[in-house]
Amino acid sequence: MKVVGKVFEAKPANGEMGDAHIGQRLREIRKLAGLTQEQLAERLNIGQAALSRVEKRRDILVSTLRDYLRALGATLRIDARFDDASALVANVHEAEFRFDSVDENQLVLPIIGEDRLPARRDVVFSIKPDYCDKIVSGAKTVELRRRFPMSVPEGTTALIYATSPTRALLGIAEIGEVHRCAPEEIWETFAERACIARKDFDSYFDGVERGYAIELKRARRLRRALELSELRDRFNFEPPQSFLYATPQMREALNYECSEVPH
């Protein structure tokens, strides 16, 4: 079967399709096109490991899906049906993020499910435990990233996930201003607030012309930490290497259980 020139539609799921594995379906399409992961990853200019993670996910950015299919020579078309005839969408802007502009794990805007357009997209940061403690205590008010979308608005909720050995979601904060500048400028302006040693800073930003300094406000610890096992069972969550967008279901659970996430 050839997929070159084909048009694929992304539709709201119903019935048994509600449990469909998006990544699995993409993998099947790739195999039908006669391409290996290595070959398709080369077309997308990403690593094979990154492509493998895409093909294991249940929720994928529309732009990621579009780029994936485009690399196969196909076209994506989205078909949205509204039961309420009065429901109108005045402006729908496709997410601007592409494979070459985001970290590998930013892949969780649902394209299958009942949600029409999520009101907001919380960000989940993966952070070493000692830095997490500094964030929730208020000592660390700037988080550094090699890549981060400038379009994330101020006031977005940042969920703080502590990596090994803690492996738990344990705090929240609000994102303030996002700064994109040369590493040396970041060091001069934000080093003290980022609570990072010079050698660690230089190692992290090695080879990067522009980095990101993300201001964090009103950080606090969740009343109950959610361990990785629970996050996996309830939300199909896998820790990102850098950051990802939280699903609406995770936000709803945090609102209910923790009563700490801004509405």
- Could you read off the pLDDT of 79-103 as tens digits, one per residue? 665 554 444 333 333 333 333 333 3
Rounded CA gap, 15 and 2, in Å?
28
Domain count, the chain: 2
Asked whether residue 193 falls in the same domain as residue 248, the answer is yes
Asked whether residue 86 falls in the same domain as residue 129, the answer is no
**Residue 257: pLDDT band by 50, 70, 90 thresholds?**
low
The β-bridge partners of 211 are 181
Question: What's the helix, strand, coil split of the chain in %, to 5?
Answer: 35, 20, 45
> Which of 103, 143, 108, 141 has its CA nearest to residue 127?
143
Q: Find the range with the poorest average confidence among 18-32, 63-77, 175-189, 211-225.
A: 18-32
Range of the domain at 82: 7-101
Q: Find the range with the poorest average confidence among 14-18, 166-170, 187-191.
A: 14-18
Summarize pLDDT for 2-49 with one digit per residue, the tens: 445 444 444 444 444 445 578 888 888 888 788 899 999 999 888 898
Long-range contacts of 78-86 (CB under 8 A, 24+ apart): 78/9, 78/10, 78/11, 78/111, 79/9, 79/10, 79/11, 80/11, 80/12, 80/116, 81/11, 81/12, 82/116
Phi, psi angles (nearest 5°) of residue 179:
-110, 130
**Residue 182: pLDDT band by 50, 70, 90 thresholds?**
very high
Residue 244: its H or E element = strand 243-245
pTM for this prediction: 0.55
Residue 112 lies in a domain: no
Asked whether residue 133 falls in the same domain as residue 239, the answer is yes
Residue 110 lies in a domain: no
Residue 129: its H or E element = helix 129-137
Asked whether residue 41 falls in the same domain as residue 97, the answer is yes
Residue 64: its H or E element = helix 62-71
